[in-house]
Amino acid sequence: MLTRFLIDYVRYVVKGGTKFYAWMGVLGLLIAGMLYVYWLQNTEGLIVTGMTSQIHDGLYLANLVFLVGVAAGAVTIVFPAYVYHHEGMHKVTVLGEMLAISAVIMVMMFVFAHMGRPDRLWHMVPPLGIYSFSSMLGWDVLVLNGYLLLNGIVGFWYLYSKYTGKPVNKKIFMPLVYVSIVWALSIHTVTAFLLATNPARPMWFHSMMPIRFIATAFAAGPALIIIAFLVIRKNTKFWIEDSAIQLLATIVTWCLGIAIFLTLSEIVVELYARTEHANGLYYLMFGLHGLTALVPWFWSSVVLMLVSFVLLLMPSVRNDMRKLPWVCATAFAGIWIEKGMGLVVPGFIPSPIGEVTEYHPTFVEWLMTLGIWAFGFFILTILLKGAIGILLGEIRASAAPVPARPSEVTP
């Protein structure tokens, strides 16, 4: 039966119209470009990137940190569905788990992209590697793989039960769901510790880092989920209820507000009595010694986050399914900058010995980043398409009853 499930799943997801094949084709071209620059990195060395001995983490780590938050953000669907029994959320929980799987895969790929010697990756794999438990990155690898495994088991177990028409064993299934909820918080907490446990980097070295990470995760993750849900509603027969989207929009609004508050609080504390420890933030906001490469990134992030927050506070915008995806995209972009280039790079400027150098991502890094995002969306498209097919009853075992379809008529 499991083999039949896999065959039926694959047969369904490879079929589609012109729009589907065009989308997958564009993603495929970007993936091909990613493979080329990855080969270039591993033959020429990381010198082809903009990273240096002073700034050895750039665009790759920025995206890694951000995507861990996107993966953790899937819990904003799972928690209301299973803990508060939100009916609209319960119908689409598995779609959030598919997003989490795709995001974690992208995180793993950014780890590979950042390594000059990927053959030594096993040193970071607990308990095999010699640095696995002594390095915070080793703990990050552990929790991320655990989260990937949990979402894979829970998500595909649920889909398989729908495929066969047999209910899941709740005595085993529900504990796994609850563990995955707690685990979602752990992955971004450990990622925050990855930065916050560096005393030589004053911009990161404070206990508020995990709280900031979780706040932005619960804004960026649901923002992307809302966009995905509205795309699904427009392009498939699967109807996602307004109540689910509106709840996610509310979560985005208040978590984004908390994230903005924490950012502004840090600015006041660091710059009120400015010491050399505030130089990283000062460089980010105003530049240092005439070097201002990141200043436009910071202020664009502030504008994007504030504008999207104000718009989300308006019910006429928050509840309008035509305007909402644009506002969510604005918030998503603002958080990407704030959580990535606006956090990772300025932590290295100035260096612990006072060197002030700038970082400019090269074409190799941009193409690698686009390719990894394309690969993640390629996987996400396959996972969502198959999951929707099962939920609609278009993929099912021959002996399974036809499930009742979600309403295809807008309220």
| Among 54-58, 172-176, 205-209, 290-294, the range of highest mean pLDDT | 172-176
Buried b (16+ CB within 10 A) or exposed e, 314-353: eeebbeebeebbebbbbbbbbbbbbbbbbbbbbbbbbeee
Query: What does the pLDDT average to over 201-217?
Result: 86
Q: Is the pLDDT of residue 406 over 60?
A: no
Contact assessment for residue 163 and residue 390, using Cβ atoms and an 8 Å cutoff: yes
* Share of residues in the chain with pLDDT > 70 (%): 95
Kindly state the average pLDDT of the residues 243-267. Answer: 91
Q: What percent of the chain has pLDDT over 90?
A: 27
- For residue 407, what pLDDT band results from cuts at 50, 70 and 90? very low
**Is residue 300's pLDDT more than 60?**
yes
pLDDT for the residue 307: 95
Q: What is the pLDDT of residue 410?
A: 37
pLDDT at 32: 96
Handedness of CA 281, 210, 338, 379 (dihedral sign): positive
What is the band of 288 on the pLDDT scale with cuts at 50, 70, 90?
A: confident
**What sign does the CA torsion over 255, 258, 263, 264 have?**
positive
Residue 297, token pair as written in the block: 């990134």
Mean pLDDT of 143-164: 89
Looking at the predicted structure, is the pLDDT value of residue 322 above 60?
A: yes
- Residue of 100, 116, 232 whose CA lies nearest to 155: 100
Average pLDDT of the residues of the chain: 86
Q: How many CB atoms lie within 10 A of CB 407?
A: 9
The segment with the largest mean pLDDT, out of 28-42, 169-183, 202-216, is: 28-42
pLDDT higher than threshold 80 for residue 121: no
Does 404 have pLDDT greater than 60?
Answer: no
Model confidence at 84: pLDDT above 70: yes
- Whether the predicted model's global pTM rises above the 0.85 cut: yes
Helix 242-272 with 209-235: angle, nearest 10 deg? 150
* pLDDT for 131: 66
Instruction: Please report the pLDDT score of residue 403 as a whole number.
Output: 58
Q: What is the pLDDT of residue 380?
A: 93
Structure-block tokens of residue 223: 């923002």
Q: Which residues contact 176 (CB under 8 A, 6 or more apart)?
A: 150, 153, 154
What integer pLDDT is reported at residue 308 of this predicted model?
94
* Predicted local confidence at residue 340, as pLDDT: 80
- What is the C-alpha separation between 302 and 295, in angstroms, rounded? 11
**Taking a C-beta distance cutoff of 8 angstroms, is the pair 162, 390 a contact?**
yes
- Dump pLDDT digits (tens) for 21-43: 999 999 999 999 999 999 998 88
Q: Is the pLDDT of residue 118 over 80?
A: no
Closest by CA position to 9, among listed 289, 389, 371 = 389
CB-CB contact of 211 with 262 (8 Å): yes
Where is average pLDDT lowest: 85-94, 131-140, 259-268?
131-140
Name the residue type at position 216: T
Pair of tokens at residue 121: 């990756």
C-alpha distances in angstroms, 324 versus 89, 90, 228?
Answer: 18, 22, 12
If DSSP states are collapsed to H, E and C, what string results for the chain? CHHHHHHHHHHHHCCCCHHHHHHHHHHHHHHHHHHHHHHHHHHHCHHHCCCCCCCCCCHHHHHHHHHHHHHHCCHHHHHHHHCCCCHHHHCCHHHHHHHHHHHHHHHHHHHHHHCCCHHHHHHHCCCCCCCCCCCHHHHHHHHHHHHHHHHHHHHHHHHHHHHHCCCCCHHHHHHHHHHHHHHHHHHHHHHHHHHHCCCCCCCCCCCCHHHHHHHHHHHHHHHHHHHHHHHHHHHCCCCCCHHHHHHHHHHHHHHHHHHHHHHHHHHHHHHHCCCHHHHHHHHHHHCECCECCCHHHHHHHHHHHHHHHHHHCCHHHHCCCCCHHHHHHHHHHHHHHHHCCCCCHHHHCCCCCCCCCCCCCCHHHHHHHHHHHHHHHHHHHHHHHHHHHHHCCCCCCCCCCCCCCCCCCCC
Whether 206 has a pLDDT exceeding 50, the answer reads yes
